[in-house]
Amino acid sequence: MITPAARPDEWLQNAARLALGALLARLDPEQACRPFFWINYDPPQATHSYWDYNDIAGRYVDGLALARIMTGSQEGGEAEAALRRFLWAQQDPGAGLFYNPDDEAASEKDKYRLNEQAAARPRHVDLFCQRAPMLALTTLLAMGDESARPRLQAQVRGLARIAERHGDELSFPSFRWAPEIRPEWREASGPPAMWQGYRYALLTPLARYVELTGDPEAADLALGLARWYMRHGDVPADGHFRGNTHSGGILPTLAGIARLGLWASDRALVEWVQRAYEWVRLGTPDFGFIVDGFGLDGFFSTTCETCSLADLIHLAVVLSDAGVGDYWDDVARYARNQLLENQYRDAEAIRRLLPGISDSVLAMLIGGFECAAYPNSILTWQGAEGCCIGGGLRALYLAWRANVSETEAETRVNLGFSRSTPHADVVGHEPWAGRIEVRVRTPRAVLIRLPEGVPVAAATALVDGAPVSAAWQGRYARFADLRPGQTAALCYPLPEGTRRYEIAGRVYEAAWRGNTLLEIQPAGERHRTYDRRRLLAGPDPAALPPAEAVPYAPPAIALW
């Protein structure tokens, strides 16, 4: 078996292990493991902000859980427990909602107090900041942690109390809420709160909670909010919207509505989301460079935030898994390329670009993800936001989880990544070779999807190295009645060539091999990305002798 330790950093498990380290490094032991949202580049230092309390803390609880499923690592258990205590302290036990302090700087140590005095400070409910704690809680509940259930129930009741009903619709009156709603909260004039999605991004975890429990109060709330957003929100009926994809909450809202539509068998909801996904797909280069300011002007219409990319991957996975569309090649290209290239991995390059950076701040960056990438470089902005570690980990998990779909009798390989399950070891060989292998542990059928752009007639099916005639189901080669220890393989040519892109008014040429973007020109001026031709200079890591290790078996839960 090829273990994660033997694999190159470009593969998903190793990327998750790096991200886990960056996440743990961002927890401030002097403030009860409150996360650092911001790392400034000049000078290089970490600072606290308004976003630490709920948005970042929630993303990190969620990200740690998902990283542990992917890697089996138990590193930083005490810090994780402290982080959870910090996050739970922000939930009002009576109202059920998670509160932010009115002081947006919120840098003084007495602002993070974890006791009864904290409730007395001036505070408010930020609707966008309800999303991440609920995301964390639904992940924990799906993993069997029943302590998450009463917190989720209280949060749902709290949200239902502040929502306003209009027939079969529900809406939130402002992007922030307190007993006395301030006029500026009702009519936000600037991004991101000017986008209605900022209020409804919580639909992603709310839909997940409905899926997990069928809670009728949560279902009524979620469907009412979804109807309001569809009819009055940022996305018109044809799906052709413009706005801040993640920071404005548009794509997280769409992901929630898609999941909710599938749960409720409401075709109108799902088709509406699919039109919007197709619109974003049309305006996004095929390697996953999605901008946050989609269709807008300004800096964030030229840069890719990892959180937006995570939302795009989420949509592609949900729609493909449900059979609504076939976007598996989108997931493969987005995750293999922009997602992995958005991760900080080169310590020497960071030290060169950020003179005087301390080891502690460097540890917060290595494994983290870019919030404002250019198509050919990262470290482009004035600093690094902490949200993208949580977003990056969730995107890695979604691609890793979607790579293989299994039942007791069948293993279906949707993507070309490597991953081990209790039933099989999957080894992908791109970009060194067009080959996907599945070594089975239990008796079963195996289906391996042939990547887009390769004719079925050009593929070769093997079992234990000998050619066989596989049955084809669409793009999937089917190998029936495999016994434990047997290996099925699908071999195919890797198309090579260049593609031309015009992004934010600039022209780029990209060299591809299969689904892997190897190089982009012009090269980046700061921290260059897509410097991957070096990968082909060495041997295929998947062909090396395997290291001795026991594969990590993830829990058999659907953690989409």
Burial 209-237 (b: 16+ CB within 10 A, else e): bbbbbebeebbbbbbbbbbbbbeebbbee
In whole angstroms, give the CA distance from residue 72 to residue 66.
10
Distance of CA 237 to CAs 119, 257, 269, 279, 440, Å? 42, 14, 11, 12, 46
**Containing structural domain, residue 243:** 4-405
How far is the C-alpha of 163 from the C-alpha of 184, rounded, in Å? 18
Tens place of pLDDT per residue across the chain (560 aa): 333 334 443 479 989 999 999 999 999 999 999 999 999 999 999 999 999 999 999 999 999 999 999 988 999 999 999 999 999 999 999 999 999 998 765 444 444 444 444 445 689 999 999 999 999 999 999 999 999 999 999 999 999 999 999 999 999 999 999 999 888 898 887 888 899 999 999 999 999 999 999 999 999 999 999 999 999 999 999 999 999 999 999 999 999 999 999 999 999 999 999 999 999 999 999 999 999 999 999 888 999 999 999 999 999 999 999 999 999 999 999 999 999 999 999 999 999 999 999 999 999 999 999 999 999 999 999 999 999 999 999 999 999 999 999 999 999 999 989 988 889 989 999 999 999 999 999 999 999 999 999 999 999 999 999 999 999 999 999 999 999 999 999 999 999 999 999 998 999 999 999 999 999 999 998 899 999 998 888 777 776 654 433 344 554 445 55
Q: Taking Cα atoms as reference points, which of 162, 157, 101 lies closest to residue 129? A: 101
CB-side neighbour CA atoms (13 Å) of 216: 0
Residue type, 360: S
Residue type, 280: V
E strands, 98-217, in order:
100-101, 123-126, 164-166, 169-171, 176-177
In a domain, 417, yes or no: no
Distances from the Cα of 144 to the Cα of 404, 431, 550, angstroms: 22, 38, 24
Query: Is residue 157 in some structural domain?
Result: yes
Q: What is the DSSP letter of 355?
A: T
The total number of structural domains that make up the chain: 1
CB 487 within 8 A of CB 438: yes
Print the SS3 string covering 264-320.
Answer: HCCHHHHHHHHHHHHHHHHCCCCCCCCCCEECCCCHHHCCECHHHHHHHHHHHHHHH
Evaluate whether residue 500 is within a structural domain.
no
Q: Does residue 400 lie in a domain region?
A: yes
Q: Which two tokens stand for residue 215?
A: 């809670």
Burial of 353 (0-12, 13-18, 19+ CB in 10 A): middle
Residue 96 lies in a domain: yes
**Cα of 196 vs its chain's centroid, Å:** 21
- Non-local (6+) Cβ contacts of 183 within 8 A are none
Q: How many CB atoms lie within 10 A of CB 74?
A: 8
- Helix (H), strand (E) at residue 413: strand 410-413
Q: Is residue 486 part of a domain?
A: no
Q: What is the pLDDT of residues 95-132, one digit of tens each?
A: 999 999 987 654 444 444 444 444 456 899 999 999 99
Please check whether residue 112 lies inside any domain of the structure.
yes
Phi, psi of 508 (to 5 degrees): -130, 150
Q: In this structure, what CATH number is given to the domain that contains residue 171?
A: 1.50.10.10
156 SS3 class? helix
Contact 31, 48 (CB under 8 A): yes
pTM for this one?
Answer: 0.94
3-state secondary structure of 548: coil
CA dihedral 475, 481, 487, 489 (to 10 degrees): -20
Residue 352 within any structural domain of the chain: yes
Positive/negative CA dihedral, 286, 7, 519, 299 = positive
